[in-house]
Amino acid sequence: MSQTRSLGIGFSPLERRRELIVELAVLAERCGYDRVSLGEGWTWEVHLVLAEIAAKTRRLKFVSAVVSAYSRTPGSIAMSAATLAAQSGGRYILGLGASSQALTEGFHDVAYTQPVSQLRRTVQDTRALLAGGRIETTRDVRPLRLGVDDVTPVPIYIAALSPRTLRLVGELAEGWLPFLVPPAQLPAFVEEIDRGRSGRSPELDPAIRVLPAVPTVVSADAARAREVMSAMLTTYLLGMGEFYGPFLEGIGFSDEVAAIRTANERPGDGIIPEASERLLREQTIVGTPDEAWARLAEWYEAGADTPLLTLPPGAPAELLRETVEVMAPGS
């Protein structure tokens, strides 16, 4: 089965192989993908890697998915966004999120307080600077503008999972970047986004694009693909702080998360027991090409505009190349 709808690939912030990221992004453009997304954690600086991708591609749009609202000031985010947009001819999309307490305090040494308010201010101030305006400062100083003429427009997307942050998407963003939301539940999350539209500026496009990050690995060797995906899921659930586990429990996967916790002594054990198969099946695209195409169709049917096939970090390079090529639009 093939399709020609919008499709992207994504890279986890845990992927450390910078040269492979760039190589696969170039391959994605050659294969007809629309977008590439790159996360940021404590490895590579996202804007610099995206600039490298921009220099080696001509059509591909690219998303920072996501920049933490705590890791930089709105001024520094606006400078990076304006630079990338100009360098790429308008292909850059700024993805922002509230990040996590573990990363904010453990890596940046910044207090993780009032994350929704922090994200709101970051989005508003960054947008104001990109539009040529000034921000409201907390000090008795003259606010400055971004010193760039004719800034190329930069859409702002928000990574959101909690109700308050979802409503912020409806109010302030051009797009939504969900992760680990199964397709069957996408419409309910979009309803929460729509509750935030009452405060939306008429200057913003009323359409809000949905770009879910979907963990994906595809191979003729289905057992190998499953093994790699299992390692990714257990790493996120058990090794990425206390966020993803409670989130999945809250949306109906309590038994599956509990079974994974019991089956794995360490995050990297990669054991998905039989009791957790539903989580693996509903949250990911994994298996043979025919199985993968059928799963991808479910995301479009649920309302996704551009699924981002997110490649497991650290997986064998040849398996990731195979996934990108097999899932290429129109293949």
Among residues 211, 176, 193, the alpha carbon closest in space to that of 310 is found at 211
Task: Provide, rounded to the nearest whole percent, the portion of the chain with pLDDT above 90.
Answer: 93
β-bridge mates for residue 175, sequence order? 157, 209
331: confidence class by pLDDT, cuts 50, 70, 90: confident
Q: Are 91 and 35 in contact (CB under 8 A)?
A: no
Task: Report pLDDT digits (tens) over 51-81.
Answer: 999 999 999 999 999 999 999 999 999 999 9
Report the range of poorest mean pLDDT among 40-49, 177-186, 235-244, 246-255: 235-244
1: confidence class by pLDDT, cuts 50, 70, 90: very low
Alpha-helical regions (H) of the chain: 18-31, 46-56, 74-88, 101-106, 115-130, 163-172, 186-194, 222-239, 244-248, 254-263, 277-283, 289-301, 317-326
Domains and CATH numbers, the chain: 8-220+288-326 (3.20.20.30), 223-284 (no CATH)
The answer, yes or no, to whether residue 282 has pLDDT greater than 80, is yes
Q: ∠ CA(92), CA(18), CA(245), 5° rounding?
A: 80
Task: Report pLDDT digits (tens) over 219-236.
Answer: 999 999 999 999 999 999
pLDDT at 138: 86
Q: Which residues contact 141 (CB under 8 A, 6 or more apart)?
A: none
Strands 156-158 and 35-38 come out as unpaired
Task: Report pLDDT digits (tens) over 105-140.
Answer: 999 999 999 999 999 999 999 999 999 999 988 888
Task: Report pLDDT digits (tens) over 291-317.
Answer: 999 999 999 999 999 999 999 999 999
Task: Report pLDDT digits (tens) over 170-181.
Answer: 999 999 999 999
Alpha-carbon torsion, ordered 36, 77, 236, 258, to 10 deg: -120
Q: Is 93 exposed, middle or buried (0-12, 13-18, 19+ CB in 10 A)?
A: buried
Among residues 320, 318, 304, 325, the alpha carbon closest in space to that of 32 is found at 325
pLDDT at 241: 72
Q: Is 236 exposed, middle or buried (0-12, 13-18, 19+ CB in 10 A)?
A: buried
**Whole-number average pLDDT of the chain:** 95
Among residues 205, 169, 212, the alpha carbon closest in space to that of 8 is found at 212
For residue 151, CA distances in Å to 47, 80, 155, 308 come to 17, 12, 12, 27
Identify whether 154 is preceded by a cis peptide bond (ω within 30 of 0): no
The answer, yes or no, to whether residue 3 has pLDDT greater than 90, is no
pLDDT at 311: 98
The DSSP annotation for 54-111 comes to: HHH-SS-EEEEEEEETTTS-HHHHHHHHHHHHHHHTS-EEEEEE---HHHHHHTS---
pLDDT at 188: 97
Strands 92-97 and 61-68 come out as parallel
pLDDT at 171: 98
